[in-house]
A and B are shown apart, each in its own frame.
Chain A
Amino acid sequence: MSFLTVDRLNQVYTDVYTNEHTVAIDDVSFTIPAGEFVSLIGPSGCGKTTVLNIVAGFVEATGGAVQLEGVPVAGPGPDRGVVFQDFALFPWKTVLANVAFGLKMNGVGKAERQATAQEMIDLVGLSGFERKFPHELSGGMRQRAAVARVLATEPSIMLMDEPFASVDAQTRRVLQQEVLRIWDLRRTTVLFVTHDVDEAVFMSDRVIVLSTRPSQVQADIRIPIERPRSWTDMHTNEDFVSIRRELMGMLGVEGAEVAP
């Protein structure tokens, strides 16, 4: 049964001064069943983040519909938790208060929300940093806090917008494995936007490839690699190597070889 349905999405921007129309998203449809981890990749500027913003309710589409569990999406809400590339942690709140924020907004009592927030902080491995302010944390730790904040409200689906693009390469690998570990425990449905092919293949059950603007769904590829996955043996995994090569070809990166 499909859980998230994106149906014939279309987005046209109109320049207020020149009245020129730019078609960002031409026609994008896909569905995600419950519990699946799906990545959305595509060349830069193809509108993958716009798709995510429409699903999140931040941007209203000029055409098409988004349904979550059969209910049309209208505006942002806690049923769709968003993890941002720039973390979007409240600088004036401690890690604990940031993680508890969603619960507070939804009227959960203080003791209960602190307990839940603490549980999430432990889950993402930030124990001991509860009282720190975001600017006192490294990029990787900030993103862990942002993930914890979303998990705390138990969303039906998690929307992740290039969440590891602002952290360094080593931390990125660690975080990718960490997110998979947490995801394995809870099996929340995930829509994951990235421009990194390796990341998409490593993390996902399915990879949806968008074409250049005006974008359409170019391919929808299932990743049959067994879980739990780890970077240590990924580059020798035949599925990984072949799917990676196939995707690189689609994105126009010809002659791409597997990095050592």
Chain B
Amino acid sequence: MSVQTTAKTSRPDPPRRTGTSAAARWRALRRRPLVTTLFPFAVVIAVWAVVAELGVFPSAFFVGPATVADSLLTSVQRGILPAYIVDSLTRLAVGTGVGLLVGVALGFLIGLNRHARRFSWPLLLFFQAIGDIAWLPIVIIWFGFSLTSVTVVIVYTVVFPLIISIVAGLDAIPTNLLRAASSLGASRWRMFWEVYVPGALPGLSSGVRTGLGYGWRALIAAEIIIGTSGVGFMMFDARRQGDVSHVFVGMAVLGVLWYMTDALVLAPLEKETVERWGLVEGIGR
């Protein structure tokens, strides 16, 4: 999985460059993971700044990083942005939390019970196919332009990938592990806690990843359409006023938030389970 598997192309350094030269130090620096991650962004920002400075696009459509940083600073100082971020994150957290409760319970039920699986699997595929955002209109009719509507949509979004991944995770438990456990005398209850639950964790963590990926997209859409507060609302509000720089601010904030969710929640979860047990090496990151 790792993208850094580039050993075959690494050549020995040309002899004229010594280990202490600036070029060698530069290369050594580039190999450090944080630098390899951040360096491309620095290049993109630099290119962005140059393009904006040259005035290739009219400033009503495209602004440079300096302008965006400026707008970012003002909205932070005014307290608008922090409040919106808190709003968005709270909605996402509440939605994901409830979604986890429902999704995990249903996932195990459907994954472990043959009858439940047979009956609900087609329905599951269908209701997942309808997609979260299509529910927005009727949910608005039921609950109005409210926080409840946003939460319902996010719960809906998170639940389906979670169920499907947990079922897949349960199916992927090798038969011999189940046989080993039962031949060592595990009762049904013990089997559940000692084998099925840990066995489903890799599926669970990939389900949470997919669910969150869809979940926060649903959040943005809901905030744009329901439009009372939040990062999505801020972006669309700015767009209505023709304020490009705040649209850019919104996208940057979303990107950083996703990176933080990944680094603080998803990656540690995977590290503690999937990687520690050597099940899959660093899934899809």
Interface residues of A (CB under 8 A from B): 56-58, 75-78, 80-82, 84, 86, 88-92, 101-102, 105-106, 133-136, 149-150, 153
Cβ < 8 Å to A, chain B residues 184-238: 184-187, 190, 194-195, 198-199, 201
In the A-B complex, list the 10 residue pairs whose CB atoms are closest, starting with the nearest.
Answer: A135-B278, A102-B184, A78-B185, A76-B183, A88-B176, A92-B198, A88-B180, A91-B277, A105-B185, A76-B182
A75: chain B residues within 8 A (beta carbon):
182
Q: Does B16 contact A (CB under 8 A)?
A: no
A84: chain B residues within 8 A (beta carbon):
176, 179-180
Q: Is A101 a contact of B183 with CB atoms below 8 Å?
A: no
Compute the total of residue contacts between A and B using a CB distance below 8 Å.
71
Q: Is A78 a contact of B184 with CB atoms below 8 Å?
A: yes
Sorting the interface of chain B by its residue count into under 10, 10 to 19, 20 to 34 or 35 or more gives 20 to 34
B184: chain A residues within 8 A (beta carbon):
78, 81, 101-102, 105, 149-150, 153
Given contacts A90-B195, A92-B198, A135-B277, A82 and B179 within 8 Å (CB-CB): yes
Q: Give the Cβ gap from B152 to chain A, nearest Cβ, in Å.
A: 35
Q: Give the Cβ gap from A64 to chain B, nearest Cβ, in Å.
A: 20
Can you list 19 A-B pairs, Cβ within 8 angstroms, ordered by A?
A56-B183, A58-B183, A75-B182, A76-B179, A76-B183, A82-B183, A84-B179, A88-B180, A90-B194, A90-B195, A91-B278, A92-B198, A92-B277, A101-B194, A134-B278, A136-B278, A149-B184, A150-B184, A153-B184
| Complex CA–CA separation, A106 to B278 (angstroms) | 28
Q: Does B174 contact A (CB under 8 A)?
A: yes
B176: chain A residues within 8 A (beta carbon):
84, 86, 88
| Complex CA–CA separation, A101 to B182 (angstroms) | 11
Q: Does B279 contact A (CB under 8 A)?
A: yes
- Give which listed residue, A56, A81, A88, A92, contacts B174 with CB less than 8 A: A88
| Complex CA–CA separation, A145 to B38 (angstroms) | 44
Q: Is A105 a contact of B190 with CB atoms below 8 Å?
A: yes
| Complex CA–CA separation, A88 to B187 (angstroms) | 18
Please name the residue on chain A nearest to B180 by beta carbon: A88
| Complex CA–CA separation, A77 to B186 (angstroms) | 9
Cβ < 8 Å to A, chain B residues 96-142: none
A136: chain B residues within 8 A (beta carbon):
278
Please name the residue on chain B nearest to A85 by beta carbon: B176
| Complex CA–CA separation, A99 to B183 (angstroms) | 13
Q: Give the Cβ gap from B273 to chain A, nearest Cβ, in Å.
A: 7
Given contacts A102-B185, A153-B184, A88 and B190 within 8 Å (CB-CB): no
- Give which listed residue, B183, B194, B198, B278, contacts A78 with CB less than 8 A: B183
| Complex CA–CA separation, A23 to B255 (angstroms) | 61
- Give which listed residue, B183, B187, B279, contacts A91 with CB less than 8 A: B279
B201: chain A residues within 8 A (beta carbon):
92
B80: chain A residues within 8 A (beta carbon):
none
| Complex CA–CA separation, A106 to B199 (angstroms) | 21
| Complex CA–CA separation, A133 to B277 (angstroms) | 6
Starting from the known contacts A76-B182, A133-B277, 8 additional A-B residue pairs (CB-CB under 8 Å) come to: A78-B184, A84-B180, A88-B180, A90-B195, A91-B277, A101-B181, A102-B185, A135-B279
A91: chain B residues within 8 A (beta carbon):
277-279
